Amino acid sequence: MRNRNIPRTRLKSPAFREKAPLPWSYLIVVAACGCLLATGFFLAARQHFISMEFGIKNSRLRKQLEDLESEKRRLILAREVSLAPFEIKRTARNLGFREIVKMPFQNVVTATKAKAGALKSAAEIPAAISGKLPSVRMSSVQKPIRADYAEPVKKPAAAAKQAKKPDGSKNKKERIEITAIATLR
Amino acid sequence: MAVRASSKSNLRQTAFTRFTLIVAILVLWMGGITVRLVHLQVNQHEWLKERAIGQRQDIKRSKMPRGTIYDRDERALAMSVTVQTLYADATRIDDVKSAAKIIAKVLDSKEAAIEAQLADAKAVEKRFLPLAKGLDDETVQKINKALEDPSIRKADLPKFEGLHWREDQKRSYPYQKLAAHIIGFSNAEGIGQAGIEQSQNEILFGAIIKKLQERDRLGRVYDETVSEKEIPKDIVLTISTSMQYHAEQALERAVKVSSAKSGIAVVIDHKNGEILALANYPSFDPNKLNGITPQNLTNRAIQSVYSPGSAFKLVTYGSALERKLITPDGEIDSGNGTIEIAKHKFTDSHAIGRVSYAKAMAHSSNVCAIKTSIRVGKESFYETVKKLGFGRPTGIELPAETGGIVRSPGTWNGDSLASMSIGYEIGVSALQMASAFATIANNGVRIQPHIIKQIRQSDEQVVPLAQPENTQVVSAETARDLRMMLKQVVIAGTGKRAQLNGYSSAGKTGTAWKFDEKLKRVNSAKYVSSFIGFAPAEDPAVTIAIVIDEPKVGGRDGGQVAAPVFREIAEQILPALNVKPEWSIEQEEAIEDIPEAAGIGNASNIDNNNVNAQAKPENSKVASARPETSIESKPESSDKKPEKPKMAPKEDKAKTESSEKGFGEAKSKGQVKNKSSPEIKKDKT
């Protein structure tokens, strides 16, 4: 009867081991695992550096966004500054415009008198100007000429006298100016 | 066989020895590494960690831009912009002298001063030494270019060792003086110091945020963590820039023309309580705070109290109408224009005899107002005063609002009711007065005045706000009667100069002597003149209050000084509010043809107008459409004395001093007795 059990001492002997060949499948698996690991490390490193790149780009874009936001604010502010009435007034003055000086309150005339005066003044407006500005003419004719505040030293009697005063050359000039002011307004 | 076995044994021995040697070397090598690692990670752990973090991480602190304040038309009234600060980390500068030379050249400053600063900072290892502040982008770029050193490897600008930029915020007010008292200003730390900036500081405040930046070996930021802070919100105000400008300009002109001390203008949309304009003069520019005085900074419209004078008769007649004690057409006898209450004589500027209540109000009769208040009684009068919002802050979202001075009836003197009925012994703010008139304009419904329309988050989402208080103070009928009476003031009374072109208007003048601290009594040379009204008279769209403090030149009463300001503002604001004119200019001219006999100024005619105003509203337009006629036909009205309680000349000085004290001044007990004159009793019966 043949003994099927191989003694352990025989397996461990160098002679037996030398003869035992390395299994190719085992080597291939090890190599594949090694390759996989190396590829994994490589991909991870690549991802890391890509993410770093993205991070840097992201940071730059964020900075750009902040800069644009602050630039937008600056532009809005500049627009508001240029639209501010005081700035418009200053610019207008620099351009040679004159500020409207309101007439004293006590120079208020009756609508009838104003109408008469205004009609006269309207007649004095050069045809060229009046033709260009029909709306202005209308308003100056229809609106009683009046202004806002009492000139302290002026007495009412004097004001009434002034209102009744016939149109001199000075008054004509003033009325034309008032019409022009109305145009601007 | 034995030789073969022996050689095999030697080979194995050699292999084993070599293997052992290699293992020993590996063990030693690994042991060395382990020892080193243990040393680094245990002994030098803290130092290495700090160094690593320092190389990789950068902490940057910056401030979020403070919230923007807009007007109702989305115009930015206050805005923060980013500015840069150039600072030096003195510990990183090796050669202070040469660095100072370059920096001084770039910044155009003194080299010696910068060198001294840098040397001092280096000595104490100071890492933040500001060299230039508040620089805009253009300047920053110029400096960066000038400071560029190619040998320096640095990710951030400027490429100069030891120099860095820091972001800061600068608050700008593009409209300068416009609405300065409303907006206020904030200090260098971005904390509100006045106005909306102060009251809404928590909403507007731009918190300091910490940015944790991860940097690579070249200093480039590849990751950033921002500490979470609430983003400041924006505030939209109810004011309109254009209306505010008109109000401020009109007020400034009036104050300058009358050489007054100061002026106030308040414009309210009484239908919703929104403040459309709130102007003070003198004002200030929040961009330039150097040399500003407290007088300029005070928001008088809400922080100052004054005696309203005759404008307060609205409350007197209002409380009587509410209790059905009088009707506008009912008659009252002002007698000879004098009344004595608790040994204090009150007089009218001119006796008007027996007149209707409407005319009494139009002529601002003190005697009639006092008699009416006596009919109303202390408690009822006080109740109406409180209901109309006097004696407590209105609740507007502005800091340091005064509640005014209203004493309870228990502390009143014998003549207090009489004095209060004509606007003395009481302190009110311009806003309170405007609010009271707005209540009448709004059919007796008082809507809490407010100035914030909206609070917006950064994502444009609107933060819900509490609805303003809405209280029915007087009945709609009383309000209508009062409006009609106030209209008569403008048509035929003391407020003729408040007549508008194309619109009807209603209101009440007020002129009060001021209390003089030096004299310890009212000074008849110092006035507070006011006009408070609304327009159009029938269906009011806007309520305007004008107060001029101490006008010195020309006419001084409210009808002369304040009413024209009302007119100017109203005429500019009403078209802006899309309120259609009630009559056209052609109609106005047609009316001029009506004979002067139906004009204003005659007592009988006033009453006729009064009746007409009730029966036919269009006739009232006719009457109010003649401002020029009425003013010119009676120019002497300009010289009329202020409608004041006047002391009879025979009154001794002591009595004068005690009885003419300003509001809040307690009187001596000897004069507290309330002795109604026979005339008053007669009137009451």
A104 or B412, which is more confident: B412
Pick among A71, A88, A110 to test the B interface (most B CBs inside 10 A): A110
How many whole angstroms separate alpha carbon B430 and alpha carbon B265?
8
Closest by CA to B236, choosing from B115, B416, B70, is B70
Task: Tell me, yes or no, if A157 comes closer than 8 A to chain B by beta carbon.
Answer: yes
How many whole angstroms separate alpha carbon A128 and alpha carbon A126?
5
pLDDT bracket for residue A10 (50, 70, 90) = low
Does the structure show a pLDDT above 80 at A149? no
Does the structure show a pLDDT above 60 at A119? no
- Residue B531, SS3? strand
Closest by CA to B547, choosing from B340, B353, B264, B271, is B264
Return the minimum-mean-pLDDT range out of B117-126, B408-417, B616-625. B616-625
What does the pLDDT read at residue B149? Answer: 81
* Residues facing A132 on adjacent strands: none
Pick among A71, A99, A110, A149 to test the B interface (most B CBs inside 10 A): A149
Q: Is the peptide bond before A156 cis (omega within 30 degrees of 0)?
A: no
In this predicted model, what pLDDT tens digit does every residue of B285-294 receive, in sequence order?
999 988 888 8
User: Would you call B175 and A151 a contact, using CB atoms and an 8 Å cutoff?
Assistant: no
Q: How many CB atoms neighbour CB A165 within 10 A?
A: 11
What does the pLDDT read at residue B322? Answer: 94
Which residues 386-425 in chain B show a CB within 8 A of chain A?
A: none
Q: Is the peptide bond before B158 cis (omega within 30 degrees of 0)?
A: yes
Whether the Cβ atoms of residue B159 and residue B138 lie closer than 8 Å to each other: no
Does the structure show a pLDDT above 90 at B440? yes
Q: Residue B502: closest CA among chain A residues belongs to which residue?
A: A143
Whether the Cβ atoms of residue B168 and residue B82 lie closer than 8 Å to each other: yes
How many whole angstroms separate alpha carbon B647 and alpha carbon B338?
10
What does the pLDDT read at residue B139? Answer: 85
Query: Which amino acid would we find at residue B605?
Result: N
Tell me how close the Cα of B338 comes to any Cα of chain A, in angstroms: 29
Task: Tell me, yes or no, if B629 comes closer than 8 A to chain A by beta carbon.
Answer: yes
In the structure encoding, which two tokens stand for residue B287, read together? 């961009």
Pick among A73, A79, A155 to test the B interface (most B CBs inside 10 A): A73
Q: What angle do CA B545, B547, B548 make, to 5 degrees?
A: 150
| Predicted complex ipTM | 0.73
Does the structure show a pLDDT above 50 at B635? no
In this predicted model, what pLDDT tens digit does every residue of B484-519 receive, in sequence order?
999 999 999 999 999 999 999 999 999 998 888 888
Tell me how close the Cα of A66 comes to any Cα of chain B, in angstroms: 10
Q: List the beta strands (DSSP E) in B56-118.
A: 57-63, 69-70, 76-88
Does the structure show a pLDDT above 50 at A85? yes
Task: Quote the DSSP letter at residue B231.
Answer: P
Which distant-in-sequence residues (6+ apart) come within 8 Å of B12 by Cβ? A14
User: Would you call B585 and A151 a contact, using CB atoms and an 8 Å cutoff?
Assistant: no
Which residues 572-591 in chain B show a CB within 8 A of chain A?
A: 585-586, 588-589
| C-alpha R_g of chain A | 50
Q: Is the peptide bond before B627 cis (omega within 30 degrees of 0)?
A: no
Q: Residue B243: closest CA among chain A residues belongs to which residue?
A: A85
Task: Quote the DSSP letter at residue A22.
Answer: P
What does the pLDDT read at residue B5? Answer: 64
Q: Dump the DSSP string for B124-154.
A: TT-S-EEEEEEE-HHHHHHHHHHH--TT---
What does the pLDDT read at residue A23? Answer: 85
Q: What is the mean pLDDT of chain B?
A: 82
Task: Tell me, yes or no, if A14 comes closer than 8 A to chain B by beta carbon.
Answer: yes
Treating both helix axes as pointing N-terminal to C-terminal, what angle do B111-123 and B96-107 enclose, rounded to 10 degrees?
130
Whether the Cβ atoms of residue B85 and residue B135 lie closer than 8 Å to each other: yes
In this predicted model, what pLDDT tens digit does every residue of B190-239 receive, in sequence order?
899 999 999 999 999 988 888 888 888 787 888 888 887 788 999 999 99
Tell me how close the Cα of A138 comes to any Cα of chain B, in angstroms: 10
Q: How many CB atoms neighbour CB B90 within 10 A?
A: 22
Task: Quote the DSSP letter at residue B598.
Answer: G
- Residue A168, SS3? coil
Whether the Cβ atoms of residue B603 and residue B520 lie closer than 8 Å to each other: no
H/E stretch holding A73? helix A24-83
Scanning B430-515, the segments in alpha helix (DSSP H) are 430-441, 476-492
Q: Dump the DSSP string for B328-387.
A: TTSEEE-TTSEEEETTEEEE-SS---EEEHHHHHHTT-HHHHHHHHHHH-HHHHHHHHHH
> How many percent of chain B have pLDDT more than 90?
52
Question: Cα A115 to chain center, whole Å?
Answer: 47
- Residue A2, SS3? coil
What does the pLDDT read at residue B636? Answer: 32
Q: Is the peptide bond before A7 cis (omega within 30 degrees of 0)?
A: no
How much is the average pLDDT of A23-48?
Answer: 94
What does the pLDDT read at residue B199? Answer: 94
Q: How many CB atoms neighbour CB B634 within 10 A?
A: 17
pLDDT bracket for residue B12 (50, 70, 90) = confident
Task: Tell me, yes or no, if A27 comes closer than 8 A to chain B by beta carbon.
Answer: no
What does the pLDDT read at residue B136? Answer: 83
What does the pLDDT read at residue B266? Answer: 96
How many whole angstroms separate alpha carbon B629 and alpha carbon B592?
8
How many whole angstroms separate alpha carbon B582 and alpha carbon B584?
7
Task: Tell me, yes or no, if B596 comes closer than 8 A to chain A by beta carbon.
Answer: no
What does the pLDDT read at residue B4? Answer: 62
Query: Which amino acid would we find at residue B199?
Result: S
User: Would you call B79 and A76 a contact, using CB atoms and an 8 Å cutoff?
Assistant: yes
Burial class (CB in 10 A: 0-12, 13-18, 19+), B382: buried
What does the pLDDT read at residue A12? Answer: 56
Residues B107, B113, B115, B121, Cα dihedral to 10°: -100
Whether the Cβ atoms of residue B268 and residue B434 lie closer than 8 Å to each other: yes
How many whole angstroms separate alpha carbon B72 and alpha carbon B401?
22
Does the structure show a pLDDT above 50 at B590? no
Q: Dump the DSSP string for B171-229.
A: EE-TTTTTTHHHH-EE-TTS-EEEHHHHHTHHHH---EEEEEEEE-TT--EEEEEE---
In the structure encoding, which two tokens stand for residue B119, read together? 């040397």
Task: Tell me, yes or no, if A101 comes closer than 8 A to chain B by beta carbon.
Answer: no
Does the structure show a pLDDT above 60 at A51? yes
How much is the average pLDDT of A136-158?
Answer: 39
User: Would you call B178 and A85 a contact, using CB atoms and an 8 Å cutoff?
Assistant: yes
Which residues 500-539 in chain B show a CB within 8 A of chain A?
A: 501
Whether the Cβ atoms of residue B367 and residue B335 lie closer than 8 Å to each other: yes
How many whole angstroms separate alpha carbon A39 and alpha carbon A45?
10
Closest Cβ opposite residue A70 in set B75, B81, B628: B81
* Residues facing B378 on adjacent strands: none
In this predicted model, what pLDDT tens digit does every residue of B316-340 receive, in sequence order?
999 999 999 999 999 999 888 899 9
Do you know the residue count of chain B?
Answer: 685
pLDDT bracket for residue B683 (50, 70, 90) = very low
User: Would you call A142 and B12 a contact, using CB atoms and an 8 Å cutoff?
Assistant: no
- Residue B515, SS3? strand
Whether the Cβ atoms of residue B545 and residue B480 lie closer than 8 Å to each other: no
How many whole angstroms separate alpha carbon A63 and alpha carbon B546?
51
Return the minimum-mean-pLDDT range out of A83-97, B151-165, B418-432. B151-165
B628 or B55, which is more confident: B55
What's phi and psi for B162, nearest 5 deg?
90, -5
Does the structure show a pLDDT above 70 at B619? no
End-to-end CA distance of chain A: 132
Whether the Cβ atoms of residue B480 and residue B394 lie closer than 8 Å to each other: no
User: Would you call A14 and B12 a contact, using CB atoms and an 8 Å cutoff?
Assistant: yes
> How many percent of chain A have pLDDT more than 90?
24
In the structure encoding, which two tokens stand for residue B669, read together? 């007990």
Residue environment code for B554-593, b if the CB has 16+ CB neighbours within 10 A, otherwise e: bbbbbbbbbbbbbbbbbbbbbeeeebebbbebebbbebbe
What does the pLDDT read at residue B369? Answer: 94
Closest by CA to B288, choosing from B177, B144, B130, B432, is B177
Task: Tell me, yes or no, if A23 comes closer than 8 A to chain B by beta carbon.
Answer: no
How many whole angstroms separate alpha carbon B635 and alpha carbon A155?
9
Q: What is the mean pLDDT of chain A?
A: 64
Q: Residue B220: closest CA among chain A residues belongs to which residue?
A: A56
Contacts 24+ apart (CB under 8 A), A130-137: A133/A183, A136/A179, A136/A182, A136/A183, A137/A179
Task: Tell me, yes or no, if A162 comes closer than 8 A to chain B by beta carbon.
Answer: no
* Residues facing B236 on adjacent strands: B70, B454
Task: Determine the number of helices (DSSP H) and then strands (DSSP E) in chain A.
Answer: 9, 0
Q: How many CB atoms neighbour CB B76 within 10 A?
A: 22
Pick among A49, A109, A148 to test the B interface (most B CBs inside 10 A): A148
How many whole angstroms separate alpha carbon B497 and alpha carbon B554?
15
How much is the average pLDDT of B441-454?
Answer: 95
Closest Cβ opposite residue A152 in set B216, B554, B567: B554
End-to-end CA distance of chain B: 159
How much is the average pLDDT of B415-432?
Answer: 94
